[in-house]
Amino acid sequence: MDDSARNSPQERPDPWRASLDSLDALRARLAEVEQPQADTRTRELMAGVMLDRASSFLVLMKATGAVLDVSRAALSVGGLDREEVIGQPLWQTPWWRGSTTAQTDTRLAIWSLAGGGRPAHFDVDLWIESAGSARGTLDLTIRPLRGRDGQVVLLLADGRSVSDRRGAERRIVRQQAELTVLTDRLTLMGEQQERLVGDLSHDLWTPLQALVEKADKLLDPGHPAEVRAEAGELRTAATTMLAQLEVMVEAARRGDADHGLSPSTSDLAGMVRSVLDEFAPIARERKVEVVERLPVSLPATYDGERISRVLANLLANALRFTPVGGLIRCSLTVHGSLVHLEVADSGPGVPAAARDTLFERFATTRVDASGASLGLAIVKEFVELHGGAVTVDTAPEGGALFIATLPLDRPGAAVPSTPAQLYAAARQIAFVREALTADLDAAHGA
C-alpha cells in the first residue's frame, strides 16, 4: 500500500471509536461479573483498554518479531491502521520504512533476544511525527517475556519520542562548536593584541629613551644656554611621552577585564611612606608642605604594585594643582575591616558638577586643567579591583579630598611581597613621578 492510500482517512476506521467500543464492552462486562479478576474475558477487555489508552509506543510481538498487537498511540503517531502492522516483522512495518540503519539495528536486537540475549535499549529514527509524514527519534526498549520454562515466548517493544531532546542535543552540539570557534578567535585576537602591544611598546620606547639620553648629554653645563634650554624642552617632551606610553600600554594589556590581582600581606603604612618619600623632592622644590597622618604600621593584604600606583597618581594629581607654598595631607584611618587612604590638598578643588565624570578615562583632573589624563581612571579601576571604592569631596584644607576605601584583608593571600612585586611597584612610581616632573617643567616654562 503506498503512502497516499495508507494516510487516507476515508479508508481507515476511526481509532477513537474503536477505543470507545472497547471501553463500553468492558463497562458492560464489569456489570455482569462479580469477580472481574477471576474472569478471563474481563481481564482481556481490561488489557485491551489499557493498551488503547497507553500514551507510549507499545508493540507486542512473537519471538520472531512478528507484530501481534500495538497500542493506539503507536498507530496514531505513525498515521497507521492496525491491519498495516499486524503479522509484519517489526523492522518491516511502515514506521521503519526507508531506514536501513534502523531496520538492521532492530532486526539484530530481536534476533539476539530470541536467542536468550539481554533487553535492548537504543534510539531509532522512525516515521513517528505529524501522523507518519516526518521522521522523529524514538527511545526504544525491547524486552523478552519468558514462560515458566525460561524460554522466550513473546517480545515487548516500549518506546517514547525523544525528538525534542535529540533536537536540543543537536542544537547544543552546534552551539558548542560555534562557541569553540569564537573562543579560538578570541584567543587568536588576544595573542595578536599582545604581540601588537609588545611591538608598539618596543618600537616607541627605544627612540624615546634615546631622546632622553641625548637630551641629558646636552644639558651638560659646558653647552650654551640656548642649547641647554632646547635640550630641557626635548627631555620634558620625551619623558612625558614615555610616561603616557607606559600608561596606555598597561591599559591595552589589561583591557576592560580583571587579569587578576597579586595580593600580598605587608605594611600598608610603610608603603605609603615610601611613596611619599619618592615625591618629597618635588614637594620641597615647589615649597609644598606634605603632612603625614599615618599609624606606625598597618598590616594589610593588597596588590603592592597597583596600590602604590593609586597613591602615586593621587599625589601627582595633588602636586599638579597645589599652589607654591600650599599643603598636601596624606592619611590612613581604619574603620572596622576597611581602611581609608586619603589625599587632600589646598588647591582649587573639584566642583560638584565635575565629580561624576572625573574618573573617566581622559577626563580632566581639574576644571581649569588644559590636558587629559588616565591617572584618576586608573585609580578607580585599581581600587575597585580590590573590592573598594574611591570618592572625591572638598578637603578641610580647601582643595580636593580623594578617599580610597580598601578592605584590610583578602582571604588566602597572607604571603609576603616578592622582589619582583617590589620592583614593579617602584617602576610604576617612577613613571608617575617622571610624568609629573615633565608636566611641571612644561608649565613653568610656559
Do 25 and 19 meet the contact criterion of CB atoms below 8 Å apart? no
Nearest to 346 by CA among 392, 394, 397: 397
- Residue 56's pLDDT is what? 81
* The residue to which cell 540475549 is assigned: 117
Report the alpha-carbon distance of residue 166 to residue 173 in Å, rounded: 10
- Residue 82's pLDDT is what? 86
- Residue 166's pLDDT is what? 65
- Residue 18's pLDDT is what? 59
Q: What is the mean pLDDT of residues 125-154?
A: 87
Q: What is the mean pLDDT of residues 167-190?
A: 76
Report the alpha-carbon distance of residue 74 to residue 166 in Å, rounded: 19
Report the alpha-carbon distance of residue 266 to residue 422 in Å, rounded: 11
What are the tens digits of pLDDT across the range 258-267?
Answer: 456 778 888 9
- Residue 30's pLDDT is what? 73
Report the alpha-carbon distance of residue 294 to residue 268 in Å, rounded: 10
* pLDDT, averaged across the chain: 79
What are the tens digits of pLDDT across the range 48-93?
Answer: 666 666 668 888 889 999 998 888 888 888 889 889 999 999 999 9
Q: What is the mean pLDDT of residues 94-119?
A: 88
Q: What is the mean pLDDT of residues 194-204?
A: 69
- Residue 13's pLDDT is what? 46
Report the alpha-carbon distance of residue 344 to residue 327 in Å, rounded: 8
pTM for the whole thing?
Answer: 0.49
What are the tens digits of pLDDT across the range 339-388?
Answer: 999 999 999 988 888 887 888 765 554 444 433 456 788 888 889 988 89
pLDDT at 305 over 70: yes
Element housing 139 (H / E): strand 134-146
Do 47 and 29 meet the contact criterion of CB atoms below 8 Å apart? no
Q: What is the mean pLDDT of residues 12-32?
A: 66
Confidence of residue 132 (pLDDT cuts 50, 70, 90): confident
Candidate CATH numbers 2.40.420.20, 3.30.565.10, 3.40.50.1980, 3.60.15.10; the one for domain 259-445? 3.30.565.10
Q: In the chain, what are the domain boundaries? A: 3-163, 259-445
Candidate CATH numbers 3.30.450.20, 3.40.640.10, 3.10.310.10, 3.40.50.720; the one for domain 3-163? 3.30.450.20
Ramachandran region, residue 349 (left: φ > 0; alpha: ψ -120 to 50; beta: rest): left
Confidence of residue 445 (pLDDT cuts 50, 70, 90): low
The phi, psi pair for 163, rounded to 5°, reads: -60, -40
